[in-house]
């Protein structure tokens, strides 16, 4: 019997029993190999199982001769060169939901520690001092918690912080009013959240748009004495600006679990008494690791034994022939998703996608819709979106998605038309594929046009 070989780069095997004991799979454990070691080790392996400590670079990908899948036992895949993997036909998978509760609880722990000066008081007493007056804190009751991002982790934080009798406000343009109301959260604009909140907690991904989102200009608009918590991603908060605002007293305190450069043991922020730091421990609980491990075991068995692709972040879960037909439309739908995410005012409530033409009649268009939704939501959710989970996340956020297939078009043989509705407005975009390397936008909000969806587009 042929055995699929998986290289595992960390020691903890709890939760992986099903994978380790499977008769068709062989798992070799080589903890924390260096880049050079991994390049030499990877030959002959069909799967690579990693955590955040190991980087899967282009060199590793190029050295792999039989590698089919890289599985990240966790959420972020920043440590994997997904582009290089995709080019080589290697699937990259992750486990997006296993750390939700752990990250939520760590956030709350930091909020409580920050408000009551617990780490500072602990260090003071252990150094032989009894300084009750120095560490007078603040209650949470009656305060306003501002959440930037109301995805899975942000939602769990909101549920629990309501029990502290706090007012919860949130900015998330991709969450519906109905969903927020169910959580007891009031949706606000970004400007309103940063001005009204007593405590701000971040729960968004790091993208080009969110990098340095919390900078000196934004901090200047906040209440005097505000507190900031970041358990999301390093780089969302400008660390130099935060340092200056903490020193000036504009910001009373900060609690950080993530940093722009990791690992790090040196930062000006570490010198400040009003800063609490932890070394990226959000997902570091025994329970989260076991949940993730069990999911990893099921995913890899499904992949190698049953031919199923789950939680892929770089390619659709379809066969090669179908993918070849759909590839130009996947690219097109992703570009429309980015465009309409910029055009729409307010939180999306409904998405209508019309597929016109014979090519769509025999194909499952779920992957196309997922490609659109993935890009439409990707700039403002707190988890890695992929073709598997994009529509699920949208529905969790109260967005209705409808597909319509029409056999024949009038002006074009085949095209895609998408209408997105919010409480404030609706917008529409129609587009065609000319050939596998050329697509065009032919209508925006009822106006005919002929635009190649590349680079920067100004819509007036």
The residue ranges of DSSP E strands in 144-260, in sequence order, are 144-148, 167-171, 186-187, 199-202, 226-230, 251-256
d(CA 399, CA 385): 15
Peptide bond into 263 cis (omega under 30): yes
The residue ranges of DSSP E strands in 22-120, in sequence order, are 25-29, 47-50, 69-72, 91-93
Alpha-helix runs per DSSP H in 148-208 = 152-161, 177-183, 190-196
Query: Interhelix angle for 152-161 vs 100-115, to 10°?
Result: 50
**Model pLDDT, residue 317:** 57
Structure tokens at 111: 């909020």
Q: What pTM value is reported for the model?
A: 0.75
Pairing outcome for strands 426-435 and 438-444: antiparallel
**Model pLDDT, residue 171:** 98
In contact, 425 and 351? CB cutoff 8 Å? no
**Model pLDDT, residue 238:** 98
Structure tokens at 98: 């296993």
For the four alpha carbons of 322, 327, 329 and 330, in that order, the dihedral sign comes to positive
Q: Which domains does the chain have, with CATH numbers?
A: 4-97+287-306 (3.40.50.720), 99-277 (3.40.50.720), 320-451 (3.30.1330.90)
**Model pLDDT, residue 431:** 94
**Model pLDDT, residue 243:** 99
Q: Which of 22, 72, 188, 280 is catalytic?
A: 280
Pairing outcome for strands 91-93 and 275-277: unpaired
Structure tokens at 73: 């036992």
**Model pLDDT, residue 307:** 75
In contact, 191 and 185? CB cutoff 8 Å? no
Q: Which of 191, 262, 286, 287 is catalytic?
A: 262
Listed residue (75, 258, 253) closest to 153, CA to CA? 75
Residue 306 DSSP label: H
d(CA 223, CA 415): 50
Q: Which of 72, 106, 203, 233 is catalytic?
A: 233
**Model pLDDT, residue 460:** 53
**Model pLDDT, residue 49:** 98
With H, G, I as helix, E, B as strand and everything else as coil, classify residue 9: coil
For the four alpha carbons of 79, 83, 88 and 93, in that order, the dihedral sign comes to positive
Task: Count CB atoms within 10 A of the CB of residue 217.
Answer: 9
Q: Decide if 22 is catalytic.
A: no
Task: Count CB atoms within 10 A of the CB of residue 355.
Answer: 22
Name residues of the chain where pLDDT drops below 70: 316-320, 384, 388, 457-460
Sheet strand arrangement including 447-451: 400-406, 348-356, 415-422, 426-435, 438-444, 447-451
With H, G, I as helix, E, B as strand and everything else as coil, classify residue 322: helix
**Model pLDDT, residue 408:** 84
d(CA 322, CA 100): 34
d(CA 215, CA 391): 32
**Model pLDDT, residue 249:** 97
**Model pLDDT, residue 459:** 61
Pairing outcome for strands 438-444 and 447-451: antiparallel
Q: Decide if 72 is catalytic.
A: no
- Let me know how long the chain is: 460
Q: Decide if 310 is catalytic.
A: no
Residue whose token pair is 């019309």: 354
């Amino acid at each position: 019997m042929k055995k699929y070989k998986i290289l595992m780069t960390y020691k903890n095997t709890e939760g992986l029993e099903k994978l380790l004991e499977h008769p068709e799979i062989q798992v070799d454990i080589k903890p924390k190999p260096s880049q050079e070691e991994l390049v030499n080790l990877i030959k002959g392996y069909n799967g690579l199982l990693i955590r955040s400590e190991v980087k899967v670079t282009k060199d590793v990908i190029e050295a792999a001769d039989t590698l089919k899948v890289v599985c990240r036992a966790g959420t972020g895949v920043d440590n994997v060169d997904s582009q290089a993997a995709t080019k080589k036909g290697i699937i990259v998978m992750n486990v997006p939901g296993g750390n939700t509760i752990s990250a939520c609880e760590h956030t709350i722990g930091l909020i409580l520690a920050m408000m009551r000066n617990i780490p500072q008081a602990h260090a003071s007493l252990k150094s032989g001092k009894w300084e009750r007056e120095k560490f007078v804190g603040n209650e949470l009751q009656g305060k306003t918690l501002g959440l930037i991002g109301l995805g899975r982790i942000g939602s769990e934080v909101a549920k629990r912080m309501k029990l502290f009798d706090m007012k919860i406000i949130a900015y998330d343009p991709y969450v519906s009013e109905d969903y927020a109301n169910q959580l007891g959260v009031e949706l606000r604009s970004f400007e309103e959240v940063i001005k009204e909140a007593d405590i701000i907690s971040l729960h968004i991904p790091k993208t080009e748009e969110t990098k340095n989102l919390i900078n000196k200009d934004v901090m200047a608009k906040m209440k005097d004495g505000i507190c900031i918590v970041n358990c999301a991603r390093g780089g969302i908060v400008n660390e130099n600006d935060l340092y200056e605002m903490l020193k000036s007293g504009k910001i009373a305190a900060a609690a950080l679990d993530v940093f722009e450069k990791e690992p790090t043991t040196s930062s000006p922020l570490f010198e400040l008494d009003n800063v609490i730091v932890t070394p990226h421990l959000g997902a570091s609980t025994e329970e989260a690791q076991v949940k993730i491990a069990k999911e990893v075991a099921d995913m890899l068995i499904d992949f190698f034994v049953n031919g199923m692709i789950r939680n892929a972040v770089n390619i659709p879960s379809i066969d090669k022939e179908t993918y070849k037909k759909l590839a130009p439309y996947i690219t097109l739908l992703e570009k429309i998703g980015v465009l309409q995410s910029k055009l729409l005012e307010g939180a999306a409530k409904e998405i209508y996608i019309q597929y016109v033409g014979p090519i769509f009649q025999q194909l499952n268009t779920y992957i196309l819709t997922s490609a659109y939704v993935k890009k439409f939501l990707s700039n403002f959710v707190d988890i890695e979106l992929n073709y598997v989970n994009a529509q699920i996340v949208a529905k969790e956020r109260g967005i209705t998605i409808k597909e319509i297939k029409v056999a024949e078009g009038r002006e074009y043989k085949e095209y895609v038309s998408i209408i997105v509705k919010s409480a404030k407005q609706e917008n529409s975009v129609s587009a065609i594929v000319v050939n596998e390397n050329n697509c065009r936008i032919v209508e925006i909000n009822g106006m005919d046009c002929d635009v190649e969806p590349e680079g920067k587009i100004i819509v007036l």
